[in-house]
A = this chain, B = another copy of it.
Amino acid sequence: MTTQPPPHPDHIFDRELITESLDRLANSYHPRTQPVPESPALMLPESLPEAGIGDGAALDTLAPVVLDASAQLHHPGYFAHMDPPTPAITWAASLWQVATNQNLLHPDAAPAARSLTERVVNWLAPSFGMSGGHFVPGSTIANLTALWAARQLKQVTRIAASDKSHLSIRKSAEILGLEYIALPTNSRHEVDISTLTQLDRTALVLTAGTVATGTIDPLIWPDETAWVHVDAAWTGPLRLTDRFASCLAGIEAADSVGFSAHKWLYQPKGSALVLFRNAKTAHDALSYGGGYLATPNIGLLGSTPAAAVPLAAMLLSWGRTGLVERIESDMGKADQLADLIKSDPRFLLWGPNQTGVVVWRPLNAEPSVVRSRLQNGWVSLTEVDGQTWFRSVAANPSADPSYLFDQVSAAL
């Protein structure tokens, strides 16, 4: 019998190349002046190059684009979007994920990664009162999946959500061919469901953390509502904390919950969860068989990466208490920033910090103009009630509220 042949040269373990990429990453990782640099002219051929330049030269060519011209999410002055910097433990575990490249679609192609994924789902689901669910690449897909289940299981014909809900709810309604009803909100941006009719035909989406202001809708609804989904894309992880779990009280009675792990669980992009109170029924409704599949394909995606690997590594490393410390520290930073804003008459604070999203503006300057003058800091811009505001999100554990506040003050 033929003896075991050697691997292909592309698939011999290449420590030197990974070490080179690590060296370049180390060099670029020190915080620069500008957390968000200008996008460079791409020094890349306009069409697919005929001849290859080799691994080392490919890294040389891409480093100015991928490393030097990236937004530095870990920059102390980056207090901007809902995108956290990823901790090193997720880099270490993602290297394993990319190298083993398991496909959750099929037991053969992911004998252990499937069990690990289920375990991580089971670690998280009970905090939300849910019995299970699955990983999805983002909260838009979580929302669409949950509303697809609502249509299959409860024959809903309409989706109702606050007029401040995420655009993915409108998008889901359109894709699923359901009517979309925008419910009014009060001055604090909380939904008012009192006018909602035909509850037995309606999937009600409650938003736990609007994009603009981080507002949480009251998590209460009439019993006859056909399906209740909570879009907790941003705030979901608060449920794991001691101090802030009660912000989401009521979520345990929902039919489904979605949240992003790549937001407040500090994961690399492409990691979110959709959870169901009755996961078995929901998964059965979203299952497709195929002659080449040993087990049914559940949910929207087919081939799926093992996003649970870096999340499992981080949760094991930090434990729940370690995660809580970091989220509560983020919340503390948002409080500090809010206090600085309140104490300075040059600025207006939209409302108190509720979920780590601080909305503010200079009283006598255009936010976009001030932002364009920022030297060592960054805030995102948002539209609230027709006006442009700064939005500072506490997703970066390295962000420094005083430093950012000084930067913005200097740019007035």
Contacts and interface: CB of A to CB of B under 8 A. Distances in A.
Interface string A1-45: 110111110110111011111101110010100001111101010
A376 to B, nearest CB: 7
B5 A15 contact: no
A95 B96 contact: no
Interface stretch (A198-206, A245-253, A276-284, A400-408): A400-408
Contact of A110 (B70, B288, B318): B70
A87 B58 CA distance: 13
A84 interface: yes
B62 A316 contact: yes
Nearest to A308: B66
Range class of the A interface residue count:
35 or more
Interface in A201-218: 211-212
The 3 closest A-B pairs by CB, nearest first: A52-B319, A291-B383, A269-B305
A150 interface: no
A171 interface: yes
A303 to B, nearest CB: 5
A113 to B, nearest CB: 7
A167 to B, nearest CB: 4
Contact of A55 (B39, B62, B92, B170): B92
Nearest to A64: B112
Contacts of A289: 167
B320 A50 contact: yes
B42 A25 contact: no
Contacts of A262: 101, 303, 305
A210 B382 CA distance: 46
B96 A137 contact: no
Contact of A11 (B24, B74, B148): B74
Contacts of A111: 36-39, 69-71
Interface string A94-114: 111111111100111111111
Contacts of A177: 176-177
A109 B137 contact: no
Contacts of A397: 8, 10-11
A1 B291 contact: no
Contacts of A115: 39, 42, 65
A57 interface: yes
Contact of A92 (B59, B74, B81, B166): B59
Contacts of A139: 302-303
A148 B61 CA distance: 37
Contacts of A116: 42, 44, 62, 65-66
Contacts of A170: 288
A77 B2 CA distance: 11
A52 to B, nearest CB: 3
Contacts of A369: none
Contacts of A211: 290-292
A17 to B, nearest CB: 5
Given A52-B317, A138-B304, 4 more contacts: A17-B92, A59-B89, A101-B262, A292-B391
Given A101-B84, A112-B40, A92 B269 contact: no
A270 interface: yes
Contact of A167 (B7, B49, B290): B290
A300 to B, nearest CB: 7
A228 interface: no
A336 interface: no
A397 to B, nearest CB: 4
15 contacts: A7-B398, A11-B74, A11-B398, A29-B99, A37-B112, A39-B107, A44-B116, A49-B319, A62-B312, A70-B100, A73-B109, A83-B102, A101-B262, A108-B378, A167-B302
B65 A112 contact: yes
